[in-house]
Amino acid sequence: MHAPTNVSVAHTPKEAGSCPIHALIQWRATGSMLSRISILIFGLVSYFVFFGTILYTIGFVSDAVVPKTINSGTAGPWLPSLLINSAMLLLFVVQHTIMARPWFKRWFIRYVPCAMERSTFVLFASVILLAMCWLWQPVPSVVWSVSNPILANMLFGLSMFGWVLVFASTFMLSHFDLFGVRQVVTNAMGNDYRPIPFRLVWMYKVVRHPLMLGFIIAIWPTPTMTVGHLFFAVMVTGYIFFGVMMEERDLVAAFGDSYRQYRKEVRGLLPLPKFGRKEGAA
């Protein structure tokens, strides 16, 4: 399959618009009904795999409920364990970084239907994340442990608040567009697809990346912080800052002065007021 002629890439909000976490691509539905239904099934399966994966990940990070958590399993020597964990995190980072870039999306839809692009990204990310959870090597040495039940519950509650913020942030824009469902449904109905216009709603008026803020809040508070959990939290937080930096470049390239002005007025991750500061990621 070669490059479809029914694809256009928008470069400014005036042309098509986009949410700040999705590709600037619009396209027309093509293909037979059987093809469109097949793509719909693929997209729905990808979404349910994602949904199961994120629920499992919450239990994994919280060290609760699921059979394999961040601290469960037989502990081995630190160095091999951390190397294995690093490899799994690196695989996730590489997949997420490359497949999220606009240049990759434009290349990818030369060979697969446009409607499948986002669902394919979601499926790959979910499978890698599940594999990381299952293959994660525990390093159970304790960094801190909170014995006071009230404080322990407060830390657990703060972590759950982070996960709630993660989910809420996706719905503030378009949850089903972010995870590929809107694309495959639009295609199945034979309608043209246009990206969701960027809107300053709810938390996006407070921070530019509430989804990433939610992840940071979710992974750090824990009654018992082990070396393995600390390693996970540090690495994921580092990738979040790197990912935000990469995404900001794409957004400036796409939206130009409109996004630069938004960046001047609203902080990236810290929900604090700006006092005449110039652009920055904080």
* 103, part of any domain: yes
The number of beta carbons lying within 10 Å of the beta carbon of residue 25 is 22
* 82, part of any domain: yes
Side-chain half-sphere CA neighbours of 158 within 13 A:
14
Side-chain half-sphere CA neighbours of 48 within 13 A:
5
The number of beta carbons lying within 10 Å of the beta carbon of residue 120 is 17
C-beta separation of 193 from 115 below 8 A: yes
* 75, part of any domain: yes
Residue 6 above 60 pLDDT?
Answer: no
- The model's pTM is 0.86
pLDDT greater at residue 112 or residue 27: 112
- Confidence class for position 10, pLDDT limits 50, 70, 90: very low
Task: For residue 92, give its domain range.
Answer: 7-265
- Confidence class for position 116, pLDDT limits 50, 70, 90: very high
**How far apart are the C-alpha atoms of 265 and 275, rounded to whole Å?**
9
* 42, part of any domain: yes
Residue type, 28: R
Question: Would you state the pLDDT for residue 282?
Answer: 58
Task: Give the Å distances, CA to CA, from 274 to 165, 196, 251, 268, 282.
Answer: 22, 28, 20, 11, 10
**How far apart are the C-alpha atoms of 13 and 28, rounded to whole Å?**
19
* 277, part of any domain: no
Rounded percentage of the chain residues whose pLDDT exceeds 70: 87
Residue 12 above 60 pLDDT?
Answer: no
Tens digits of per-residue pLDDT, 228-260? Answer: 999 999 999 999 999 999 999 988 887 788 889
Tens digits of per-residue pLDDT, 152-207? Answer: 999 999 999 999 999 999 999 899 999 999 999 999 999 999 888 767 888 999 99
Query: Does residue 175 sit in helix, strand or coil?
Result: helix
Q: How many domains does the chain have?
A: 1
C-beta separation of 30 from 6 below 8 A: yes
* 273, part of any domain: no
* 133, part of any domain: yes
**How far apart are the C-alpha atoms of 87 and 107, rounded to whole Å?**
26
Question: Would you state the pLDDT for residue 3?
Answer: 37
Q: What is the mean pLDDT of residues 40-45?
A: 98
Residue the block writes with tokens 């979910």: 126
Question: Would you state the pLDDT for residue 7?
Answer: 42
* 246, part of any domain: yes
C-beta separation of 95 from 128 below 8 A: yes
**How far apart are the C-alpha atoms of 258 and 165, rounded to whole Å?**
26
